[in-house]
Chains A and B, each alone.
Chain A
Amino acid sequence: MRRTLLYLLLGPASLVMVVPLLYMLSLSLQTEAETLSAEAVVWPESPQWGNYAELFARAPFGNFIVNSLVVAGAITVAHLIFDPLVGYVFAKFRFPLRNTLFVALLATLMVPFFVRMIPLYVLMANLGWLNTYQGLITPFLMDAFGIFLMRQFIQPIPDDLISAARIDGASELGIYRRIILPQTRPALAVLGLFTFVFQWNEFLWPLVATTTPEMRTIPVGLTLFNQEYFTLWHLTAAGSVILFVPTAVLFIFTQRYFVRGIALTGLK
């Protein structure tokens, strides 16, 4: 009885989550006529894989994909380099102004992106960095959240380990790379996954910082494609599938990390 009720809640809820995405796949394979027919098409008569080719012919979709990979990839690498390094310093070093700097860092958590949007646009325009990779990448090279996560993770590593390495004559960078970094692997995996997925999906800044179609990322390129060809839903759906598949594949292989990562963000 109780069990039936639970299934009656979880079953329909899961369907509501997944069916729209499956419909997106179906839509991407329909003919234009099927997308417009009075009766809803559940699955196309004959799947139109050619829709994907047509999408590439109508918009520089190859550029969008490369741009998304470059931007999300570069930002992820930057996070993986800088967040643990800075987290390590705040976890294990004593130095003047340490607390002041740490508070100044955490304060940036309270600054939503829209506050930086206009001044960053002006800055990039002055630098001539609109429509460039550096313009899309640099505002997101690190963030306080990733640094904080890594600091929490590094703090429990025993200080003796570090002192012993110092006595053995290891360099400071060597200690970080050979002793600290290897122990943070699970946290790095979470950090890398979240950073990549968020940046892959990022919408507002690429919309603001690009004006030429060739420099757009997939989310922005697809949305503006839809504004231009707003009746060609099968092509918009094809683009959506392309945008979704990489994150879905990542998720299938790493869903445990995602769940753990979300739970980590909720720690008091």
Chain B
Amino acid sequence: MIRPRTLAGRYARTAYLFLLPAILFFAAFFYLPIGNVVATSLRTGPQADQWAGLGNYTQALADPAVRHSFLVTVAFAVAVVVGSIVLGLALAMALDQPLKGRVAFRVLLLVPYLTSVAIVGLLWRNILDPELGVLNRVLLAAGLPAQQWLNTAPLLTIAAVTLWQSVGYTMVLFLAGLQGIPETYHEAAKIDGADSWRRFWRITLPLLAPTTLFVSVMAVISGLQAFGQAYIITGGGPGDATDLSVFHIFNVAFRTRDFGYSSAQSVLLLIVIVAFTLVQLRAGRRGEVVY
């Protein structure tokens, strides 16, 4: 307190000294690339060096392949979100009961979350393969007809595979949320004669709203940027049925080598993701319950 000015100055100097690596890192590997992706999206040509203005954007918005990949991606993300919430919550509620072996169940359900998308993709491509796949060999041996899920319902199938990997994560989130709800609410409702169905809709679900919102925001964000599922399992097919956006962008960038056009599509997808997130946050805030 003797020389506050210099003391404050010294702390500020220390703070900036400690921050220096971070400032350089985020400038070089986040803000510079973000600036560059926007700059590149306004250019065209094999070197992405000719000014195109908004040409790439108008082209992308009118391109049936791009529009299709956006639709496919949104459908995929919605399937993953719905599945994450329904299955994750169901499993979490089951695990929230006093049961023998709940720790073991929790561990087993969480195991696929540790696997790389490479394992998820390769393993399920093998399991689901129409000819060599183990699932069809089991079905045939049991006298049941072979299934071709990757041809008949490719998008739902890769969404299900994605859920296989991620549902343990949502389950743990919901479990933490459930354990945060004070027991007294349930007890009071029980005394008032509410059955478990009513308690679920009137107490559990409303009080769980922040967790549900978080799960749904996270699932939408990761669902909209899924890549490996298309790259490894389906190759975007059959036809273009699973041409997920990031897979589409990857191909335009690194197979067609059109950096300008692919950059514009990246920016558009980012806008879609931010828009979805804001809409969910706004909807979530409206439904918020204070307790």
**Which residues of A does B touch, CB under 8 Å?**
3, 6-7, 9-10, 13-14, 16-18, 20-21, 23-24, 27, 35-40, 82, 85-86, 88-89, 93-96, 98, 101, 104-105, 108, 110-123, 138-139, 141-142, 147, 172, 176, 197, 200-204, 207-208, 218-220, 222-223, 226, 231, 233, 236-237, 240, 243-244, 247-248, 251, 255, 258-259, 262-263, 265-266, 268
Are B126 and A237 touching (Cβ within 8 A)? yes
Interface core residue of B15, B31, B105, B164 (most chain A CB under 10 Å): B15
- CB pair B119–A244 under 8 Å, yes or no, is yes
| List of A residues within 8 angstroms of B36 by Cβ | 119, 122-123
Q: A98 vs B169: C-alpha distance in the bound complex, in angstroms?
A: 34
The reply on B154 being an interface residue by CB < 8 A is no
Query: In the assembled complex, which residues on chain A have CB atoms less than 8 Å from the CB atom of B70?
Result: none
B185 lies within 8 A of chain A by Cβ: no
Is there contact, CB below 8 Å, between A115 and B34? yes
Q: Is B81 an interface residue (CB 8 A)?
A: no
- Asked whether B97 lies within 8 Å of A6 as measured between CB atoms, the reply is yes
Q: List 26 A-B contacts (CB under 8 A).
A: A18-B108, A82-B21, A86-B18, A86-B22, A101-B23, A108-B26, A108-B30, A111-B270, A112-B273, A114-B249, A114-B266, A116-B33, A118-B37, A118-B40, A118-B259, A119-B32, A139-B29, A142-B25, A200-B116, A202-B116, A204-B246, A219-B118, A220-B118, A236-B126, A243-B116, A263-B175
CB-contact partner of A113 in B15, B127, B215, B225, under 8 A: B225
Q: A9-B94, A14-B108, A114-B225 are in contact. Are A82 and B22 (CB under 8 A)?
A: yes
Q: Is B18 in contact with A203, judged by CB distance below 8 angstroms?
A: no
Residue total for B at the interface (Cβ-Cβ under 8 A): 87
Closest 3 CB pairs of A and B: A201-B116, A219-B118, A119-B36
* A114 close to B18 (CB less than 8 A): no
- What B residues does A89 contact at CB under 8 A? 15, 18-19
The verdict on A10 contacting B105 (CB below 8 Å), with A86-B19, A89-B15 known, is yes
CA gap between A216 and B269 in the complex, in Å: 28
Determine whether the beta carbon of B118 is less than 8 Å from that of A17.
no
Q: Are B114 and A95 in contact (CB under 8 A)?
A: no
Q: Which B residues, 256 to 291, have Cβ-Cβ distances below 8 Å to chain A?
A: 259, 262-263, 266-267, 269-270, 273-274, 277
Instruction: Kindly identify, within residues 4 to 29 of chain B, every residue whose CB is under 8 Å from any CB belonging to chain A.
Output: 8, 11-12, 14-16, 18-19, 21-23, 25-26, 29
Contacts of B108 in A (CB 8 A): 14, 17-18
Whether the pair B127, A116 counts as a contact (CB closer than 8 A) is no
Q: Within the complex, what minimum Cβ distance (angstroms) separates A162 from chain B?
A: 10
Q: Collect the chain B residues with CB atoms within 8 Å of residue A13's CB.
A: 91, 109
- In the complex, which of the residues B119, B221, B269 contacts A240, with contact meaning CB atoms closer than 8 Å? B119
CB-CB contacts below 8 Å: B112-158 with A: 112, 114-119, 121-124, 126-127, 132, 134, 137-138, 140-141
A residues near B172, Cβ cutoff 8 Å = 259, 262-263
* Inter-chain contacts of B176 with A (CB < 8 A): 262-263, 266
| B2 interface hit (Cβ, 8 Å) | no
B interface: dominant SS: helix
Q: Please pick, from A37, A117, A204, the residue contacting B266 in the complex, using a CB distance under 8 A.
A: A117
Asked if A17 and B90 sit within 8 Å, CB to CB, the answer is no
Contact partner of B112 (CB less than 8 A), chosen from A21, A105, A231, is: A21
Extra contacts, 9 of them, besides A115-B266, A119-B32, A263-B173 (Cβ < 8 A), are: A112-B273, A115-B34, A117-B249, A118-B266, A223-B122, A240-B122, A243-B116, A243-B118, A263-B175
Question: Which of B25, B95, B227 has most A Cβ within 10 Å?
Answer: B25
Taking a contact as CB atoms closer than 8 A, the residue among B19, B111, B124, B126 that contacts A248 in the complex is B111
A237 to B106 Cα, complex, angstroms: 25
Bound CA–CA A116/B111 (angstroms):
30
Check: B232 CB closer than 8 A to any chain A CB: yes
Give the residues in chain A near B106, CB-CB below 8 Å: 259
Does B254 belong to the interface (CB within 8 Å)?
Answer: yes
Residues in A neighbouring B266, C-beta threshold 8 A: 114-115, 117-118
Task: Report whether A147 and B263 are in contact in the complex, using a CB–CB cutoff of 8 Å.
Answer: no
Contact between chains at B37 and A115 (CB < 8 Å): yes
Please tell me if B236 contacts chain A, counting CB pairs below 8 Å. no
Bound-state Cα–Cα, A3 to B102, Å: 12
Nearest to B107 among chain A residues (CB) is A255
Chain A contacts for B25, CB-based, 8 A = 82, 141-142
- Chain A proximity of B214: nearest CB distance (Å): 5
Q: How far is it, in angstroms, between the C-alpha of A220 and the C-alpha of B122 when the chains are bound?
A: 11
Closest Cβ neighbor of A147 among chain B residues:
B22
Residue B83 lies at the interface, judged by CB distance under 8 Å to chain A = no
Is B228's CB under 8 angstroms from A255's CB?
no
Contact between B12 and A95 (Cβ–Cβ < 8 Å)?
yes
Point out which of B12, B26, B137, B259 has the most chain A C-beta atoms below 10 A from its C-beta: B26
Give CA–CA (A201, B228) in the complex, Å.
Answer: 11
**In the complex, what residues of B have CB within 8 A of residue A21's CB?**
111-112, 115, 123
